[in-house]
Amino acid sequence: MTALRTGQVLLMLAGLIAWALQFLLIYGATSTLCGREWADATFLGLGVVQASILIATVTALAATAAAFAWSLRGYRSAEARPVSAADRFMVQSAALVNGFSLIVILWQGIPAFILPACA
């Protein structure tokens, strides 16, 4: 696969990959911090569990938003310029996937605002 194609695939899956990393991070952090009773520590005035969830969520949201903006730009230019059908498909799908991922990542972060860290 050429670098262009690899880039297209990565852009198409960017939001979902960001979600997967966010998920891995928040679940791993919660398990480790609660499992080792380090959860009482604080970071920036927040409980360390809540803080790690927020940081992971904001980072994933930012990355996905960037990918979304990038693919939307590609979407428009693909409408304007004649490109191959496969190229257009990839960039349009990327916009859809990344847009959807924004919601999922957001939902994934909600528990931090509602639940206690380790109870």
Backbone torsion region of residue 35, taken as left when φ is above 0, otherwise alpha when ψ lies between -120 and 50, otherwise beta: alpha
Q: For other proteins, which residue of 7, 10, 20, 41 counts as binding (CB under 8 A)? A: 20
The answer to whether the beta carbons of residues 78 and 88 sit under 8 Å apart is: yes
The answer to whether the beta carbons of residues 38 and 48 sit under 8 Å apart is: yes
10 binds other proteins (CB under 8 A): no
Q: For other proteins, which residue of 34, 46, 48, 65 counts as binding (CB under 8 A)? A: 34
Q: Applying CB under 8 A, what is the total number of residues that bind other proteins? A: 43
- Interacting residues of 70 by C-beta distance below 8 A, sequence separation 6+: 11
Least CB distance from residue 58 to other proteins, whole Å? 16
Question: Beta strand pairing status for 46-47 and 42-43?
Answer: antiparallel
Residues interacting with other proteins, by CB under 8 A? 1, 5, 12-13, 16, 19-20, 23, 26-27, 30-32, 34-36, 49, 53, 84-86, 88-90, 92-93, 96-97, 100-101, 103-104, 107-108, 110-112, 114-119
